[in-house]
Structure 1
Amino acid sequence: MPVNAAQKNAIEEVIRALTSATSRRAKRRLADMFLDLVDRDSWPEYYEVIPQPRCINGVKASLAQNKYKDPLDAFQDLQLVFLNALYYNEPGSQISKDASTLKGILENEWKQRPVLPPPPTSAPSSSAQKVHAKKDQQERAAASPAPTAHAQTAAPAQKASFKAPAPSAMNVDPTPQGSSQPTEASVADRPASPEVDVDIGGTPEPEVGGRDSARDGESDEIVRQLEKGLPRWEGFADVGWAEDLGPDRMVNIVAAIAKYRDESGNRLAHPLSLRLVESRAQMRYYKTSQAFDKEMSQLFLKARRWYEIGTEPYGNVLVLQRLYQALTSPNPPQPPYASATKFAALPAGPGTAKPLHASEGDTGVTTYRVSLKDRQLIDEVNFKGWTVRVADWLHLSNPDDPSRPIVGQVFKCFLSQETQRKGQPGVSVCWYYRPEQVCAVAVAPIVLQNLTLPQTFHPASRQFWEKEIFKTSHFADHPVEDIIEKVACQFTARHLRGRPRAPFWYPGWPLYVCDSRYNDRDRVFVKIKNWNSCIPEEVRKKEEFMPIYPFERPVVPRSLPSPFLGGAHKIKAPGGIIDAPEKEKNEGEKVENAAGAAAGAAAGTATRKRPQRKAAAKADADRAAAIAAASSSKTTPVAAPLPLQASTSSYGHVQYAPQAPPQEDRSILAAAGGAAALNNATVEELPPETARLFDRDPETNEVLWFAAPPVDIVHTPPPQHSLKYLAYLAKKRKQTQRQDVMDVDSSAGAPPSKRRKVLPTVTEQLEALLREHGLDKVPQDVS
């Protein structure tokens, strides 16, 4: 039965219904991941598993070329598109959910059109489900004695054991339409993750390997293969964006960020490409505050991913982002824009914040437990496209060192009831320290002159995991404007076995590992044995808290030496090396119990007696004197830190801010070998056929070049003229041409008819310019 015109139109309507289906919450098109075939070069294993790959655009092309002789052939190909995704991807993944939804839409839309024959009730014989089930039966029959006829009919067809999660449909990739992209691909030969893998109670998890375990060459490939197939981040959600930003205020905000200079007079905006955003703001391109706010957030995200954490350019980006978030807040600062805390809300960060055992009379920054005073607890807070809930890990603005943002876990979300911030949201977090940012010394009682004061203290033999952080007993309240981004942290036993499932972590997000607590009073590291005491009470023993995608086998992170020792990993920051304290050697269990009790008290489950303040202050003075003596001793190895610049904080402590270390020159000039290598360099202009492929600046008409790849976020297509408007222009053009002909044929004595002047269209103006400059003969691309 060949496909007639009515049936062809009905099938096209079904395809349009599939391609226009959107999700309810994110308003994204569900069919975008199924339009094109998977790239065979990038994902060859997909074509080994799927016998009949299909895509929606392929079905549309075959239908337009009248290749289908039966309408059910078109239905079968459309059905295979979603059956292939359901077979290849792990159940419960986003792409499997989308495939199941579109499969239901296909069947419903097909049945609603009487001109189309009824669809079959079973999957086609060429589907992966039936092909692999038949192979399994044949393999079992070959491996076992021939069963009886009754046994053959009773044996159920088992589904192939191969399952691998693929990038979800949320994976926004700015690949232009028509090009191949990995839409349904994933990792082959990897076991499925168990539904429940959340043993975080009081019983310690089994240790897989210690710090002495070496990371072999195969481990990197195991991690890469796993992360390659994990769901990608869907991008910023439509929550928490700025409101009431007029066009003039948008221009002023971008100008303020572009012109901002730090205390030394250095302009920080060079890592950002603000010219395009500024031009669009001046041309009233942004119709809503959300559109402008989202584009600025994407710009900061791109810069954060390009630079490494701890470098000066990365810190500059975070300072500008914090300034931007302050300018778009309900209470923006007034010019001139300057801040001793790099616009962070707190006066001090890890290493310089007041220790918990400080003397009375000091204004505290951190506390022993989460405070419930003057606040209304809520389930979540929304800010700049992020939805933050209890137990989420965050990057927060660090007033002391913006290049190393504070890592904290959320213990409470609240609305402030204080007079100055009435109704404004915030989060109470537990700080996690970095190896190079562990504990400053309380120096308020001591006047130090010409003394370099270390911040980090640990034995020279101390080894650190790559990207390791340490649980502390510091709790602090941050307004949402301090939030930089969401990150993730795994405890060691989980980190060695796999990666967190979405939405707790996505590839590309910063990921940390925690193995120990850090006691900044005694400067000792204590291995965590009771993970349950380290997380908020609301998520303890809950099955949905951070399950993992498992590795093929345990993968040990790289073990790095102290950041203050020599070698490739040496950093230039305040700190030093000390001998291992006796408490860390002999009283580790005692300190562990005390730290666990402090964490329990913070969550409201235990209490801890505050140490005597006078004795603690005296101990601090003794330790500071010992450090000063150790710094001048020739027998104690202390790393030579950078010069420090002293300043007095708002709460009376002396702060020591390190001067910026020299950074690696990553310019194009340095990559080419320096200025000497460019003596004989020649400068050539881009050919017109190459230059026209790139975007141009709307003011200077110069080709736009960017120093970083684009962020994996779909860009909103520019507005285009509607067909109705284009038809109106064509009709007006024809009327004008008709009037010109009538004037030529009129009598010589008759006055010419009055005609309205019609402006040429943009296309006509462009063609005229091309002819004027001799560019109309440039061959066009054939797509």
Structure 2
Amino acid sequence: MVISQVQKHAIEETITVLLNASSPRAKRKLVGMFLVLPDRESWPEYYQVIPEPRCIHGIQADLKGNKYKDPLDVFTDLQLVFLNALYYNEDGSQIAKDAAALKVILENEWKQRSVLPIPRTSPPPVSAQRVYAVPQQASGSGSKAERTQARPTPLAAASSPAPQPDSSAYGDKSPERQQSPDVDIDVGGTPEPEGLPTDTARDEESEEIVKQLEKGLPRWDGFADVGWMEEVDPGRYLAIVLAINNHEDQNGTRLAASLEAVPEEATIPEFPYNVPLSLSLIENRSREKYYQSSKAFDKETSQFFLKARRWYEQGSEAYGNVLVLQRLYHALASSSPPPGPPYISTTHFASLRAGPGTAKPLHTHDTEGVHGVTTFRVSTKDRTFVDEVHFKGWTFRLADWVHMSNPDDPSRPIIGQVFKCFVSDEPGKKGRPGLTVCWYYRPEQTIHPADRQFWENEVFKTSHFADHPLEDVVEKIACQFTARHIRGRPRPPYWYPGWPLYVCDSRYNDRERIFVKIKNWNSCVPEEVRKSTEFMPIYPFERSVFPRRFPSPFLSGKIIKAPGGIGDVVERAEGEKIEGGGTGRKRPKRTAAATATAIRFEQTDRSGPSKGLYVGSTTAQPVASTSSYQYPPTAQTQYAQSGSTSLRGAGERSIVTAAGTNLGSNIVTEKLPSETAKHFDRDPETNEVLWFAAPPVDMVHSPAPRHSLAYLHFLAKKRKRRTPDNDAADITAGVPSSKRFKIQPTVTETLRTLIEKFGVDPSMSMSPLPGQ
């Protein structure tokens, strides 16, 4: 495994968190004692006791020099930094406490970054805890004296090699495999785990079982010599490359920057082409008339797009840019290229008007979404069915799985299974091959309850069928139903290591928001391959291995621009009757008051991050964002959880949130520019922008008392002792009249004086005066 740029960035972020971790009380950095190795002359015993010394600065230097070939090697070295300190130092010492705290931070931060592989949970074989066989030292428990007795002498430690994990159970080669079972496995859906939704780390043995099996599988040889570009004028090669290189989206962003960021020489796991390849190299070769045929140009360009797809993480913005440009390339290399330049498309050059979550089938009565994009069944009109079609080195047959261009979100290509291969007989499209595909939805394209958990790479079968031209095809993939996925991996040519692999456990009815556990997997595949022993046979594991579980993507703390959301749904088994009869066909009511939209503001610059969040009610109007994706607000619900944002002063303290004010029909989500962020104060601890949804309330405060309570008590006593003949003579005796404080009459006293002066009858007043 090679560390990609995305993974390297995630590792650097994790190290930065470790470097910035501080003690909450002492306000000091915890990492100070772990930056460099102990001095060898001052601490010779350390190097006799610790088998593999490590330090943070050394790991950073090796990472920068690209000396690591596997992300897990970086994790092992970081883990060793703290395990070594826990083993060598006394329990309860400050350095041991700091090491334990940083070890927990490392594990949590690493786990929160999905691009990084799941690490082992036990100490590595080269750690002192494993070398000296002191199990309790994994967490630093036990006294130093006990550890000293458990470890061998320095000479023995140096001469004895560290014990390696027992590999006899697996061997160098994959174990002999039994014949894979038939597809007709009538089993229920996998059990839902109890407890709060959280990602579940596989045990070390399960990880090793999967790794060893996939390690022994045959590798993909690359594109075949079928379906390539027809011969055209060589001058057109350069025009196509320049069109890709200069293409800008509707916001003026040049997408080819993502292609240029892919290194010319990069080692990618399971990549069949290990030759230098880049966009600039293809451009230079086009200028120099290097390509002897259109097929040679087309094949090398397709190889480069494959390399770029493998370089970036699926779902990232850069990955989406690659797929947009690949779809543009398919259009330009076709027999009927689009008019231009400039080349403009509201669907990212995809042939359909909408994708999963927003597309609605023909004849549906749903009032939301884009109608007429899909159908409920395979169409047979104006087409001739064929056994297979060829495109860009791929051969597509019945029941193959594919990635297709998504017009709404290119970074999440449509997942589908081929139900028909055809050649169109429609006027204007006659002779053009295509595929009828059954769509599968991703979790973020469904409405689901907040506590629902998902398998890793889980998708859901739907009743949406769509006709796609071959230019919509991104690549071949594989999807296994759960009964097979937990038991093994598909045999070639259905899947090769490095290809995207998904798992399906349920159906999803997006109109009624119902999840249905699949019992009979045969009903989900094309009729022609049912009961076939040749359909996606597997290499079996030694035992069942379940995939990891993850919570809803809308609870991950990330901004998810997808048509799904959190909401009430019905969960039932296939064919199960619900209360009141029927099978759940009654659709739940949707009201504007029941929908919510989360607005997130995010700004990142060199001075530090800033984030904001507002959650409030909205009406059923389209939601606009900085991207070109527009989804109904019912599908934009995002739940904010603790730690998902770092905004101070927003959320519940927002005046708009407290008042529940409707924000209108257009909600804009955008990044806060650095030139704007610099005008805001920052948190002294986290360096995050202090942003508030509204100014403070301008309230008139009551003036503070002018006199002390003791003086007011003195005045009260004086008033009580006053007599008609002598005005407070007992209290002010001996005080000159010029220095005496004149007491102002009360309102009651003033009113009594006026009544007596003007002869008003008190009985005619509405209420008697005090004292009468």
Give the TM-score of the pair, scaled to structure 1.
0.50
Q: Which residue of 2 aligns with 1:508?
A: 498
Note closer, same or farther for the CA distance 1:564–1:642 as it changes in structure 2 (3 Å cut).
farther
| Residues 496-575 of structure 1 aligned to structure 2 (within 5 Å) | 496-566=486-556, 571=560, 573=562, 575=564
Matched residue SS, 1:410:
strand
Note closer, same or farther for the CA distance 1:298–1:195 as it changes in structure 2 (3 Å cut).
same
Are 1:578 and 1:637, in contact at CA under 8 Å, matched by a contact in 2?
Answer: no
Are 2:625 and 2:670, in contact at CA under 8 Å, matched by a contact in 1?
Answer: no
Q: Which residue of 2 aligns with 1:226?
A: 213
Q: Which residue of 2 aligns with 1:119?
A: none
One-letter amino acid of the structure 2 residue matched with residue 508 of structure 1: G
1:577 and 2:587 equivalent? Answer: no
Q: Which residue of 1 aligns with 2:451?
A: 461
1: distance between equivalents of 2:573 and 2:215? 44
Matched residue SS, 1:584:
strand
Are 1:368 and 1:475, in contact at CA under 8 Å, matched by a contact in 2?
Answer: yes
Deviation at 1:376, TM superposition (A): 0.3
Q: Give the aligned CA root-mean-square deviation in angstroms.
A: 3.9
1:353 and 2:359 equivalent? Answer: yes
Are 1:578 and 1:636, in contact at CA under 8 Å, matched by a contact in 2?
Answer: no
2: distance between equivalents of 1:657 and 1:204? 48
Matched residue SS, 2:327:
helix
Select the structure with the greater relative contact order (CA < 8 A; seq sep ≥ 6): 1
One-letter amino acid of the structure 2 residue matched with residue 283 of structure 1: E
Matched residue SS, 2:177:
coil
Q: Which residue of 2 aligns with 1:625?
A: 592
Note closer, same or farther for the CA distance 1:189–1:353 as it changes in structure 2 (3 Å cut).
same
Are 1:574 and 1:642, in contact at CA under 8 Å, matched by a contact in 2?
Answer: no
TM-superposition CA deviations, 1:100-158 (whole Å, max 9, x none): xxxxxxxxxxxxxxxxxxxxxxxxxxxxxxxxxxxxxxxxxxxxxxxxxxxxxxxxxxx
Are 1:487 and 1:509, in contact at CA under 8 Å, matched by a contact in 2?
Answer: yes
1:269 and 2:256 equivalent? Answer: yes
1:644 and 2:593 equivalent? Answer: no
Deviation at 1:245, TM superposition (A): 2.3
One-letter amino acid of the structure 1 residue matched with residue 317 of structure 2: E
2: distance between equivalents of 1:246 and 1:659? 46
Are 1:312 and 1:660, in contact at CA under 8 Å, matched by a contact in 2?
Answer: no
Note closer, same or farther for the CA distance 1:339–1:282 as it changes in structure 2 (3 Å cut).
same
| Residues 598-613 of structure 1 aligned to structure 2 (within 5 Å) | none
Aligned match of 1:391 in 396, 399, 405?
399
Q: Which residue of 2 aligns with 1:339?
A: 345
1: distance between equivalents of 2:582 and 2:361? 15
1: distance between equivalents of 2:583 and 2:302? 38
Q: Which residue of 1 aligns with 2:231?
A: 244
| Residues 33-432 of structure 1 aligned to structure 2 (within 5 Å) | 188=172, 190-198=174-182, 200-201=183-184, 203-205=185-187, 211=193, 215-272=202-259, 273-335=278-340, 336-355=342-361, 357-358=364-365, 363-432=371-440
2: distance between equivalents of 1:657 and 1:537? 46
Note closer, same or farther for the CA distance 1:300–1:631 as it changes in structure 2 (3 Å cut).
closer
2: distance between equivalents of 1:648 and 1:403? 12
TM-superposition CA deviations, 1:19-60 (whole Å, max 9, x none): xxxxxxxxxxxxxxxxxxxxxxx9xxxxxxxxxxxxxxxxxx
One-letter amino acid of the structure 1 residue matched with residue 295 of structure 2: Q
Deviation at 1:489, TM superposition (A): 0.1
Note closer, same or farther for the CA distance 1:660–1:395 as it changes in structure 2 (3 Å cut).
farther
2: distance between equivalents of 1:562 and 1:405? 19
Unaligned runs of 5+ in 2: 1-69, 71-169, 195-199, 260-277, 600-613, 637-664, 673-772
Are 2:576 and 2:583, in contact at CA under 8 Å, matched by a contact in 1?
Answer: no
Deviation at 1:588, TM superposition (A): 6.7
TM-superposition CA deviations, 1:687-736 (whole Å, max 9, x none): xxxxxxxxxxxxxxxxxxxxxxxxxxxxxxxxxxxxxxxxxxxxxxxxxx
One-letter amino acid of the structure 2 residue matched with residue 192 of structure 1: E
Matched residue SS, 1:218:
helix
Matched residue SS, 1:222:
helix
Are 2:456 and 2:547, in contact at CA under 8 Å, matched by a contact in 1?
Answer: yes
One-letter amino acid of the structure 2 residue matched with residue 358 of structure 1: H
Number of aligned residues: 430
Are 2:357 and 2:564, in contact at CA under 8 Å, matched by a contact in 1?
Answer: no
Note closer, same or farther for the CA distance 1:522–1:345 as it changes in structure 2 (3 Å cut).
same
2: distance between equivalents of 1:484 and 1:629? 34
Matched residue SS, 2:186:
coil
One-letter amino acid of the structure 2 residue matched with residue 302 of structure 1: K
Give the TM-score of the pair, scaled to structure 2.
0.51
| Residues 722-741 of structure 1 aligned to structure 2 (within 5 Å) | none
Deviation at 1:578, TM superposition (A): 2.3
Are 2:189 and 2:519, in contact at CA under 8 Å, matched by a contact in 1?
Answer: no
Note closer, same or farther for the CA distance 1:596–1:391 as it changes in structure 2 (3 Å cut).
farther
Deviation at 1:195, TM superposition (A): 3.3
1: distance between equivalents of 2:591 and 2:219? 49
Matched residue SS, 2:590:
helix
2: distance between equivalents of 1:629 and 1:206? 34
Are 1:400 and 1:657, in contact at CA under 8 Å, matched by a contact in 2?
Answer: no
2: distance between equivalents of 1:476 and 1:657? 31
TM-superposition CA deviations, 1:346-402 (whole Å, max 9, x none): 011101112563369985011110001000000001000000000000000000000
Q: Which residue of 1 aligns with 2:470?
A: 480
1: distance between equivalents of 2:476 and 2:416? 10
Are 1:187 and 1:229, in contact at CA under 8 Å, matched by a contact in 2?
Answer: no
1: distance between equivalents of 2:311 and 2:223? 18
Note closer, same or farther for the CA distance 1:214–1:588 as it changes in structure 2 (3 Å cut).
farther
2: distance between equivalents of 1:422 and 1:660? 43
2: distance between equivalents of 1:235 and 1:661? 40
2: distance between equivalents of 1:422 and 1:623? 43
Note closer, same or farther for the CA distance 1:373–1:229 as it changes in structure 2 (3 Å cut).
same
Q: Which has the larger radius of gyration?
A: 2
Deviation at 1:662, TM superposition (A): 7.1
1: distance between equivalents of 2:314 and 2:436? 24
Matched residue SS, 2:256:
coil
Deviation at 1:575, TM superposition (A): 4.4
Q: Which residue of 2 aligns with 1:30?
A: none
One-letter amino acid of the structure 2 residue matched with residue 242 of structure 1: M
Are 1:430 and 1:473, in contact at CA under 8 Å, matched by a contact in 2?
Answer: yes
One-letter amino acid of the structure 2 residue matched with residue 576 of structure 1: G
Matched residue SS, 1:549:
strand
One-letter amino acid of the structure 2 residue matched with residue 423 of structure 1: G
Matched residue SS, 1:280:
helix
Deviation at 1:270, TM superposition (A): 1.5
1: distance between equivalents of 2:385 and 2:401? 18
2: distance between equivalents of 1:299 and 1:374? 36
1: distance between equivalents of 2:424 and 2:256? 33
TM-superposition CA deviations, 1:465-508 (whole Å, max 9, x none): 00000000000000000000000000011101110000000000
Are 1:469 and 1:512, in contact at CA under 8 Å, matched by a contact in 2?
Answer: yes
2: distance between equivalents of 1:477 and 1:408? 11
